[in-house]
Amino acid sequence: MNERVEKIEEIIINEAKGKAENIIAKAKEEAKKILDEAEQEAKKEAEEIINKKKADAEAQARRILSEAKLEARLKILNAKEQLISEAFDTAIEKLKEFSQSTQYKTALENLIKDAAIIIRGGDLEVLLPENTNVNLDLSKIAKEVENQTGVKTSLSISNETIRSIGGVIVRSKDQFLTVDNTFEARLERLREQLRVNVANLLFKT
C-alpha cells in the first residue's frame, strides 16, 4: 500500500515538475520576447532622439553659417560704402581747391552757359557762392546762349548768394525756371553713375 502511494506521489511530483518546467520555459520565452521588444523599442527611440538631435544640430549649424555669411557680406558692404564715401569726400575737397584755381573761371562760365541754355535763354540772373572772386564775362556768355537758343538773353549777378563750394545757380528773373549747377548738385545728379565707377575702380579685383 505504501509503495503504491509513494508511486502515485512520484507520478504526481514528476507531472508537477514537468508542468512547472513548461511554465518556467514559457515564462522565460515570454520574458525574452518582452525584453527583445523593449530593447528594439528603446533602440528605435534612441535613434529617433539621436536623429532629431542631429537634425537640430545641423539646422543650428546652417543657421550660424548663414548668419556669419550675412554678417561678412554686411561688413564688406559697409567697408565699400565707407571707401566710396571717402572717395566722394576727397572729390569735394578737390573741387574746393579747384574753385580757388585759375581754371575755375572758365569752368564757372561754362556752367552758367549750360544752365542758361537749359532754361532756353531770356532775362536771367546768376547766383554765386559767397566770396566768389571771379571776373565773369556775362555779355559774352549771353551772346553764346543766344546763338544756341535763338532767344535774346541777358545775364546779371544776383545780390542773393548761395551756400556752395563752387558752381552756380541760374534762374529766370521771374524765378519760374531754375537750374542748379553747383558742384554739389552736379555731383548728386551724377552720384549713382559715379558711385558705380568709383566702386569698379576700388573693387575691380
CA-to-CA distance for 57 and 70, rounded, in angstroms?
20
Give the pLDDT score at 157.
93
The SS3 of residue 108 is helix
Give the pLDDT score at 66.
80
The answer to whether the predicted template modeling score (pTM) of the entire model surpasses 0.85 is: no
**Tens of pLDDT along 164-201?**
999 999 999 988 999 999 999 988 887 777 667 766 76
Cell triple for residue 150? 535763338
Q: Is the pLDDT of residue 1 over 60?
A: no
Give the pLDDT score at 67.
81
Question: What percent of the chain clears pLDDT 70, i.e. is strictly above it?
Answer: 82
**Tens of pLDDT along 46-63?**
777 778 777 787 787 788
Q: Distances from the Cα of 33 to the Cαs of 22, 38, 44, 77, in angstroms? A: 16, 8, 16, 65
Pick the more confident residue, 35 or 18. 35
Please calculate the CA angle 121-110-165 and round it to the nearest 5 degrees.
Answer: 110
Give the pLDDT score at 2.
45
